[in-house]
Amino acid sequence: MISTSTAHVLASLFVTCYVGSIYISKGARLSFSNTKVYLDYGFARPKLQNERWRDDPDVIRARLVAVCSGTFICCAIVYALMASESANAKNSWTPLQMTVNYLGCTSTSILPHLITPMLFLGPLYAHFLRGTLPGQCNWSSQEDLRSFLLSVTGVRNYFVAPITEEVVFRACVLTVYHLAQVSKMRMIFLCPLLFGAAHAHHAWETYNRYGRSPTALKRAAIGTVFQFTYTSIFGFYCSYLFLRTGSIFPPITAHVFCNIMGVPQPGYDISERPDRKLAIIVAYLIGIVGFVYALSSGTRWALAEGTLYWN
């Protein structure tokens, strides 16, 4: 066991390794012009020739390498902790076996993976009405699969980022707090704040992209507050999933699915098909009710047998 203060230090180290990796690597760092541009609110300025923005392909590739390296370091730290625990406890598990189990590299049933799509029943129904679900008339394997998912941006958004972020901010962070015997409530509602805070560095990019003006500063501040709130709430959910299932895979699939779907927009969905307004509202409500039911402690949807974290 480790102390709570040691867990705080290690969790902060994990965040520093992950976020800091993209600033240590020269190819992953961004560069902007110092020129102030006064634009209407909501409009970004054109990218200049010598600038490096977040969505530039070479920046994305460098950042993918950086965050994968940072994730490996975090896992190595957890392995060192497990080696120390194994030596002190003198149990039959090897440090590698302990690391694999604590990081949640274990299989689970299909049910935890269906909880997130259930919440998105309303948006999925709206996509169905527009004919944009896979296999429908307005869905294209070329545009919606290859260009959307398999581009360098898609690899970042839907593969590398969800996997590495969940391994670091869920598996590694919750492991050290579990070793410190922190309560499950604190792990669910306090640890994800680190995940939200780790996205605050995007404010600098927003400030520069929108002209380095007072309007740009306002947009960066509002965007940061929204992103911190959204990612923290999402972190509560994924932490609960990880602790209940003892597996990292349901949080990863939830992360991937949410990145693909984006933030639900019931108003937009209704405006697209006002003739199906009632059906869309009902689909949203059924999804929310089903989501709450599936997560409740009395069901088996999110609870796995023998989890290390939830007895």
Positions marked catalytic? 165, 199
The answer to whether the beta carbons of residues 60 and 153 sit under 8 Å apart is yes
End-to-end alpha-carbon separation of the chain, Å? 18
Alpha helices in the chain (DSSP H): 4-24, 57-89, 95-102, 111-119, 121-130, 148-149, 152-155, 161-166, 173-179, 184-189, 192-197, 202-209, 214-245, 249-261, 266-272, 277-295
Task: Quote the CA–CA distance of 290 and 44 in Å, as a whole number.
Answer: 40
The residue to which tokens 């923290």 are assigned: 232
CA dist., res. 138 & res. 77, Å (int): 47
Task: Give the long-range contacts of residues 234-237, CB within 8 A, separation 24 or more.
Answer: 234/192, 234/195, 234/258, 235/169, 235/170, 235/191, 235/192, 235/193, 235/195, 235/196, 236/188, 236/189, 236/192
Which one, of 190, 217, 198, lies nearest residue 206 by Cα?
A: 217
Size (the chain), residues: 311
Is the backbone of residue 46 left (phi > 0), alpha (psi -120 to 50) or beta? beta
How many whole angstroms separate alpha carbon 269 and alpha carbon 286?
A: 16
Burial class (CB in 10 A: 0-12, 13-18, 19+), 308: middle
* Three-class DSSP category at 52: strand
Task: Give residue 104's Cα distance to chain centre.
Answer: 16
